[in-house]
Every structure is written in C-alpha cells, then in structure tokens.
Amino acid sequence: MPYRVRENLFIGNISDAAEILQNGSTEITHILSVLSSATISFFSEWRSGLVIPSKEIKKVYVGGSDTGDIGSGSEDASGGKGSKSSLSPEKLLYSLEYAGKDLKMVRMAVPLRDMESEDLLDYLDVCFDFIDQSRKDGFVLVHCFAGVSRSAAIIMAYLMRTEHLSQEDALESLRQSCEFVCPNDGFLDQLKMFEEMGFKVDHASPIYKRFRLKVLETRGESYNRGEKIDSSKFGADPGLPSEDSSEVEVPSKVGNNGTPAYRCKKCRRVVALQDNVVDHIPGEGETSFGWYKRKSGNPYIKSDEFECSSIFVEPLQWMTAVEEGALEGKLSCVHCEARLGYFNWSGIQCSCGSWITPAFQLHKSRVDISTV
Ligand SMILES: [Zn+2]
Ligand SMILES: [Zn+2]
C-alpha cells in the first residue's frame, strides 16, 4: 500500500503502482514513475504477463521545447537552447501518457537510475510541476522501484521547496509517513545543494557549476582514453559574440552588462567572465593541512594569509586541449597562444592550499581583470 505523505500526495513502490494501474484506484488519479526506463513496458519486464494499456500524450527531450500543458516552470530544466543543465542533449526528460485500466490514470515517467552519480537536480522542476498539477486535479502517487531512494528524494525536494524545510528536516518529516525511506548519498548531496541554492535549481549558481563539473567528470571517463569530449556542455566562449548578437567585434560585446571579464594579458582577448569562475574558499580542503605544515610549520595558521594565485573556471569552449580528451594539459590563449594556465581532471592545488577538482586554472599573472 502506498504511504500518505501529505494531502493528495503518496509514496510507494512498483507493486503499488502496478496494482493501481491494473485495477484502478478510488483515490489515486496521477502517477509519477521514477524508474530506470520511462516506458510502460518496464512493468511487463518486471512481472511477465502484466500488460498495462497506455496512450501517449507527449514525450519531452532535453533541449527540446516544452509544448505541453503541465506547467510553466519547466523550460529551464528541459534545457532550452543555451541552458546549461547537466543532462546530455537529446536525452528523454519525461514522458506523459494516459495509462492503466480504462486509460483513466495520468502517468508521467522520468528515467532515473538509483545511482549516486545520477543527475537528480535537473529532473526536479518537471516533477514539481507534475506533482503540483496532480494535487490540484486529484491524488498523486510518486513511486520508484523500491519506494526507498528515488521517489523519496523527489518528495523530499518537493517538501523542501513547498515548506522550506532543510534537507535533514525534509527527510525526518518524510520518515514520519514512511519510516524506511533512504535516498542514496548522491541524492542527499544534491538535495543539500538544492537547499543551499534556495530551494531551486539555479544553473548560474557556483554550487550548481561545481555539480555540473562533477557530472561531466563522471560521465567523461573518455578523458582517460584520450577520446574527444562533447564540449557542448562547456561554457560558451566569452570571447565570441553570442548567437543572438549581431555584433561581430569581439571586445565591444563583453562588459555591456558590467560583468567583470578576464582577458589574456598579452593580446587582451576575453578568456573568461566572472560568471565562469568556480569559487573556492581559500585554504579549504583536506590536503591543505599538509601544505601549511610544510610551508610554515604551523598547521593552524590563518588561511587568508595566502592569496590565491589563480582563478578556477568551468571548462569553456575555447579550451580545445580539454576537448581533445587529455587528462591534463596546458591552457593557452586561443588568439595568441600565450600560456594562461593548466587543467587537470584529477584536480590542482591552489596556492592557498585548496584542491579544486576537476581544475581549469588561469594564472592571475597571465590575465587582466577589467570591470567595464
Ligand atoms: Zn585558492
Ligand atoms: Zn592572448
């Protein structure tokens, strides 16, 4: 039996969903399936002989436009052009269909595996829209396979957003309805980020940027094999005019909006904007201890005595050396080929002692900052 979490909101496992789809329900009208595959045939594979009728309403892909009717807040998560979610382009974001007995149920299915490295964050907005709408129209069951990790993570995020609960409080609250819920550690980390971003998935936030780097890193095992990396998820080259700009002259474009820009010291080409910078706290990180000890003999010395000699940025589309798939290498100015810094997917230690992983480092001595 599904567990009631809030008014009109239930959590359950695949058996609960199958039972409702097969026999109908006096209560549940909407189902949010969070399974490794979005297709309804997943139920037949789970239990042979079980055939659940369905009629497609629509499928929405990452990067595709949302033409649908389940809410307005999803354009960001569905990754409109230029949007920088961590999901691979062309991946199915969700499917929507009528399903079950007499096709009475509305089912949204989100393909999500119960793995720590899975990108939960970028599915949240579409799930919120569906849950919100379903609770207005009826009763919604959110289910995954076991009803323990994925469905719990999504409901936790939903409670966090609607009730402004911390990650810990949301888990505790959900456990009062269903005591055995236990999202995997990767999901819990992402929910903590969700809390720190103010209960939204903010693609411009340094927190999200770090997360995207991690996703790129785990997905991009190719760098070990020296294979080319899909650079479409890299940040846009700030030295080039943006797609929707008619301006061609490079320097004039930047700084229009007052954004600080980093330029190659030698040729003045823009190589990064403040928005591209991945901040770190000076001296933070487990290995900084050893560094201070070596350097000063005093492990407790205040970290801000060491100024960072570098800035660290997200991978940008001018970084062809990164795109080529090397594990580490030099970063050179795309215009004059001056050496600007270094990158290493395994991390680089800043002069302040912090480790940044993965690291795309620009030496402050090689770039100028201009605040236009
Ligand atoms: Zn530093
Ligand atoms: Zn240059």
| Beta strand residue intervals within the chain, DSSP E | 3-6, 9-12, 30-35, 54-61, 92-99, 105-111, 140-143, 261-264, 270-273, 310-312, 328-332, 339-344, 348-349, 355-356, 359-363, 367-370
**Does position 104 have pLDDT exceeding 70, yes or no?**
yes
147: helix, coil or strand? coil
Mark the residues whose beta carbon lies below 5 A from ion ligand 1: 282, 308, 350, 352, 354
- For residue 262, the ligand closest to its alpha carbon is 2
Please identify which of the residues 144, 178, 264, 352 carries the catalytic annotation: 144
**Domain 3-64+83-202 CATH (choose: 1.10.10.10, 3.90.190.10, 3.50.50.60, 3.40.190.10):** 3.90.190.10
Active site includes 144? yes
* DSSP letters for 189-255: HHHHHHHHTTSS--TTSHHHHHHHHHHHHHH-THHHHTPPP-GGGSBP-TTS--TT-----HHHHTT
Lowest mean pLDDT among 72-86, 182-196, 262-276, 279-293: 72-86
pLDDT of residue 87: 82
pLDDT tens by residue, 323-354: 887 888 999 999 999 999 999 888 888 888 88
271 Cα–ligand 2 center, Å: 8
307 Cα–ligand 2 center, Å: 24
235 Cα–ligand 2 center, Å: 19
pLDDT tens by residue, 119-142: 999 999 999 999 999 999 999 999
- The rounded distance, in Å, linking the Cα atoms of 285 and 267 is 35
312 Cα–ligand 2 center, Å: 18
Residue 189: half-sphere exposure toward Cβ, Cα within 13 Å: 14
Q: What are phi and psi of 353, to 5 degrees?
A: 110, -20
3-64+83-202 and 258-287+307-371 share one fold: no
Please state the domain extents for the chain: 3-64+83-202, 258-287+307-371
318 Cα–ligand 2 center, Å: 12
- For residue 239, the ligand closest to its alpha carbon is 2
- For residue 311, the ligand closest to its alpha carbon is 1
- What average pLDDT does the chain have? 83
User: Taking the CB of residue 82, how many other CB atoms lie within 10 A of it?
Assistant: 10
**Does position 76 have pLDDT exceeding 60, yes or no?**
no
Lowest mean pLDDT among 57-61, 159-163, 193-197, 276-280: 276-280
153 Cα–ligand 1 center, Å: 33
- For residue 331, the ligand closest to its alpha carbon is 2
- Given this structure, which CATH class describes domain 258-287+307-371? mainly beta
